[in-house]
């Protein structure tokens, strides 16, 4: 239903009124259809709001649960670090006093289960339920860090892989997980897969601060694979960029690897 007024009709109130009367009659005739359509749009809007609300609620619940587990972990870790940093009081024979010896019970044993109890399992269970959200990704990185500290590389890699299907390379936490997974793969001499993973994030402007570290590691992997030219290209690029940005630590690392490669080339 459409109606356009001519200039002449617009000058005639009766003509306008007549058209408006027809329009109202059409609306009344099709009121039930319009009601259904309006109801559909309202339903869609309500459903979208409900999904958003439940999503936000679930995210908040996940964050609260993660915070609870994380606090236990941080408290334990802080206690171990504090105990490690303290020098025990010595008696006249140069041996720890009884009080100092008793306080040593808080020191980490080097055994994950003895030191952290059920915390690693709680992190893992939480991760399995929340692998696709931010809290789950944070849990994956935290758990991987803990596993790595206790030399459990395979477990660390498995934990990170639980998030793999939902990772978004341009998003910060996802990029950090990809970087950590690639690093673990490279440490297991799986440089081919590591390079593929680093390739997903190395050009992302959103995580540009990772770029130089990633490229150094990529250079090391290319060297391990025997591709000396690509390795040199990465080390040279990072060294040059590091000097321009006055990033001394990165520049020194890249320069060191480059000098080693040049020395090997001259010696061969």
Q: Report pLDDT for 81.
A: 87
pLDDT, one tens digit per residue, over 9-25 is 444 445 544 544 555 55
What's the rounded Cα separation, in Å, for the pair 218 and 198?
7
State both tokens at 93.
């024979």
Q: Is 6 exposed, middle or buried (0-12, 13-18, 19+ CB in 10 A)?
A: exposed
8 A C-beta contact, residue 204 and residue 184: no
256 vs 190, which has greater pLDDT? 190
> Which domains occur in the chain, in start order?
117-200 (1.25.40), 211-268 (no CATH)
Instruction: Note whether 137 and 168 are within 8 A (CB).
Output: no
Rg over alpha carbons for the chain, rounded to the nearest Å, is: 32
Q: How confident is the model at residue 7 (pLDDT cuts 50, 70, 90)?
A: very low
Report d(CA 116, CA 171) in Å as an integer: 30
Question: Distance (Å, rounded) from C-alpha 163 to C-alpha 151?
Answer: 21
Please give the torsion angle defined by the CA atoms of residues 149, 150, 151 and 155, in that order, rounded to the nearest 10 degrees. -100
What b-and-e string marks burial along 184-201, b requiring 16 or more CB atoms within 10 Å of the CB? bbbeeebbeebbebbebb
pLDDT by residue (tens digit) across 231-244?
999 999 888 876 76
89 confidence band (pLDDT: 50, 70, 90)? low
How confident is the model at residue 50, as a pLDDT?
40
Per-residue pLDDT, 58: 67
């Amino acid at each position: 239903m459409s109606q356009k007024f001519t200039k002449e009709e617009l000058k005639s109130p009766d003509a306008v009124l007549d058209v408006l009367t027809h329009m109202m009659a059409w609306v009344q005739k099709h009121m039930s259809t319009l009601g259904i359509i309006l109801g559909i749009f309202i339903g869609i809007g309500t459903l979208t709001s409900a999904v958003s609300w439940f999503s936000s609620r679930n995210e908040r619940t996940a964050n609260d649960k993660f915070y609870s587990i994380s606090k236990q972990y941080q408290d334990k870790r802080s206690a171990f670090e504090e105990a490690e940093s303290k020098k025990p009081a010595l008696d006249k024979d140069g041996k720890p006093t009884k009080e100092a010896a008793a306080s040593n019970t808080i020191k980490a044993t080097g055994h994950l289960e003895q030191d952290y109890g059920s915390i690693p399992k709680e992190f893992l269970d939480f991760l399995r339920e929340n692998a696709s959200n931010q809290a789950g990704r944070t849990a994956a990185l935290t758990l991987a860090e803990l596993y790595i500290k206790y030399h459990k590389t395979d477990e660390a890699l498995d934990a990170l892989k639980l998030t793999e299907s939902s990772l978004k390379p341009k998003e910060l936490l996802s990029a950090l997980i990809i970087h950590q997974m690639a690093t673990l793969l490279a440490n297991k001499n799986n440089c081919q897969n590591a390079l593929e993973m680093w390739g997903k994030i190395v050009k992302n402007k959103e995580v540009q601060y990772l770029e130089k570290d990633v490229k150094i590691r990529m250079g090391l992997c290319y060297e391990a694979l025997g591709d000396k030219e690509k390795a040199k290209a990465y080390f040279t690029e990072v060294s040059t960029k590091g000097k321009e940005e006055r990033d001394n630590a990165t520049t020194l690392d890249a320069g060191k690897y480059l000098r080693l490669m040049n020395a090997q080339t001259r010696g061969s």
